[in-house]
A and B are shown apart, each in its own frame.
Chain A
Amino acid sequence: MSYSRSDLDGTDPKRPSDHIDADERGEITSPKLGVVGWLRWGWRQLTSMRTAIVLLLLLAIAAIPGSIFPQRMANPNGVTQWKSDNPDLYPLVDNLQLFDVYQSVWFSAIYLLLFVSLIGCIIPRIKHHAKALRTLPPRTPVRLSRLADYRDEHVAEGDAEAAVDAAQAQLKKQGYRVTRYDGRGAFSVSAERGYARETGNLLFHISLVGVLLSVGLGNQFAYTGQAVITEGETFVNSLLNYSSMNQGRLVGDDALAPYAMTLDSFDVNYVPYGEAGTGQAGDFSANVTITEPDGSTSEDSVRVNHPLHVHNDSVYLLGNGYAPKITVRNADGDVVYSQAVPFLPQDSNLTSLGVVKVTDGMPEQLGMVGFFYPTQSELDTGAMTSIFGDLLNPVLTLNVYEGDLGIDDGTPRSVYTLDPTGMDQLTGGDTGIDSLELSPGDTVDLPNGLGTVTFDDVTPDDADPSTVGYTESVARFASLQVHHDVSALWVLTFAVLGVLGLASAFFIPRRRMWVKATPDGSGGVRLEYAGLARGEDPAIRDVVDKLADSHLSSLSH
Chain B
Amino acid sequence: MSAEDTVTFATWSLIMLWTAIAVYVLAFISYAVDLANRSQASAKAKDREAALVGATGSGSVAVAERPTESEVPQRFVMARIGTTLTWIAFLLHLGAVILRGIGAGRVPWSNMFEFAMTSTLLFTAVYLGALFWKDLRYIGAFMTGLVTVLLGAGAMPSIYVDITPLSDPLKSVWLVIHVFVASLATGFLALSFALSVAQLLQTRREHRIREDESRASKRSILRTLPSAENLEGLAYRFAIIGFIFWTFTLIAGAIWANDAWGRYWGFDTKEVWTFIIWVLYAGYIHARATRGWRGNRSAWLSIVGFVAVLFNFSIVNIFFQGLHAYSGLE
Tell whether A282 pairs with B266 under 8 Å between CB atoms, given A18-B291, A22-B291, A49-B286: no
Residue B47 lies at the interface, judged by CB distance under 8 Å to chain A: no
Q: Which of B92-100, B167-175, B198-206 contacts its partner?
A: B167-175
Residue B135 lies at the interface, judged by CB distance under 8 Å to chain A: no
A73 in complex: contacting residue of B167, B254, B266, B286, CB < 8 Å: B266
Q: Which of B24-32, B122-130, B141-149, B269-277 contacts its partner?
A: B269-277
Contact A305 B260 (CB under 8 A): yes
Tell whether A536 pairs with B166 under 8 Å between CB atoms, given A20-B290, A50-B292, A53-B287: no
Q: Which of A285-332 contact B (CB under 8 A)?
A: 303-307, 314, 316, 318
Q: Which of B130-181 contact A (CB under 8 A)?
A: 162-169, 171-172
Residue A483 lies at the interface, judged by CB distance under 8 Å to chain B: yes
Contact B255 A56 (CB under 8 A): no
Q: Which residues of A contact B316 (CB under 8 A)?
A: 67
Contact A307 B259 (CB under 8 A): yes
Interface string of B193-211 (1 = CB under 8 A from A): 0000000000000000000
Tell whether A74 pairs with B266 under 8 Å between CB atoms, given A18-B290, A67-B273: yes
User: Complex formed: what's the CA distance from A307 to B172 in Å?
Assistant: 12
Contact B264 A488 (CB under 8 A): yes
Q: Which residues of A contact B294 (CB under 8 A)?
A: 20
Contact A67 B292 (CB under 8 A): no
Residue B60 lies at the interface, judged by CB distance under 8 Å to chain A: no
Contact A495 B251 (CB under 8 A): yes
Residue A498 lies at the interface, judged by CB distance under 8 Å to chain B: yes
Contact B275 A78 (CB under 8 A): no
Task: Tally inter-chain residue pairs, CB-CB below 8 A.
Answer: 144
Q: Which of B220-258 contact A (CB under 8 A)?
A: 233, 236-237, 240, 243-244, 247-248, 251, 254-256, 258
Residue A254 lies at the interface, judged by CB distance under 8 Å to chain B: no
**Shortest Cβ distance from residue B34 to the other chain A in the assembled complex, whole angstroms:** 26
Residue A436 lies at the interface, judged by CB distance under 8 Å to chain B: no
Contact B262 A306 (CB under 8 A): no
Nearest A residue (CB) for B6: A276
Interface string of A1-42 (1 = CB under 8 A from B): 000000000000001001111101001000000000000000
Q: Which residues of B contact A27 (CB under 8 A)?
A: 291
Q: Which residues of A contact B260 (CB under 8 A)?
A: 304-305
Interface string of A35-64 (1 = CB under 8 A from B): 000000000000001101100110110011
Residue A496 lies at the interface, judged by CB distance under 8 Å to chain B: yes
Q: Which residues of B contact A314 (CB under 8 A)?
A: 262
Residue B279 lies at the interface, judged by CB distance under 8 Å to chain A: yes
Contact B280 A499 (CB under 8 A): no
Q: Which residues of A contact B64 (CB under 8 A)?
A: none
Nearest B residue (CB) for A65: B272
Residue B282 lies at the interface, judged by CB distance under 8 Å to chain A: yes
**Shortest Cβ distance from residue B102 to the other chain A in the assembled complex, whole angstroms:** 15
Nearest B residue (CB) for A282: B168
Tell whether A280 pairs with B164 under 8 Å between CB atoms, given A59-B279, A305-B172, A488-B264: yes
User: Complex formed: what's the CA distance from A49 to B283 in Å?
Assistant: 10
**Shortest Cβ distance from residue A525 to the other chain B in the assembled complex, whole angstroms:** 32
Residue A277 lies at the interface, judged by CB distance under 8 Å to chain B: yes
B162 in complex: contacting residue of A70, A215, A276, A304, CB < 8 Å: A276
Contact A280 B167 (CB under 8 A): yes
Q: Which residues of A contact B258 (CB under 8 A)?
A: 488
**Shortest Cβ distance from residue B199 to the other chain A in the assembled complex, whole angstroms:** 15
A57-B283, A305-B260, A502-B247 known; 14 other A-B pairs, CB under 8 Å? A18-B290, A18-B291, A20-B289, A20-B294, A50-B293, A56-B283, A57-B301, A64-B272, A67-B273, A282-B168, A306-B259, A316-B261, A492-B255, A498-B247
Complex A-B, nearest 4 residue pairs according to Cβ-Cβ distance, in ascending order: A277-B164, A316-B262, A304-B168, A56-B283
State the B residues within 8 Å of A (CB). Answer: 3, 6, 162-169, 171-172, 233, 236-237, 240, 243-244, 247-248, 251, 254-256, 258-269, 272-273, 275-276, 279-280, 282-283, 286-294, 301, 308, 316, 320-322
Can you name 30 A-B pairs with beta carbons within 8 Å?
A27-B291, A49-B289, A50-B290, A53-B283, A57-B280, A57-B301, A60-B308, A66-B267, A67-B269, A67-B316, A73-B266, A74-B268, A277-B165, A282-B167, A282-B168, A282-B171, A283-B168, A304-B171, A305-B256, A316-B262, A318-B262, A481-B262, A491-B254, A492-B251, A492-B255, A492-B264, A499-B248, A502-B243, A536-B236, A538-B233
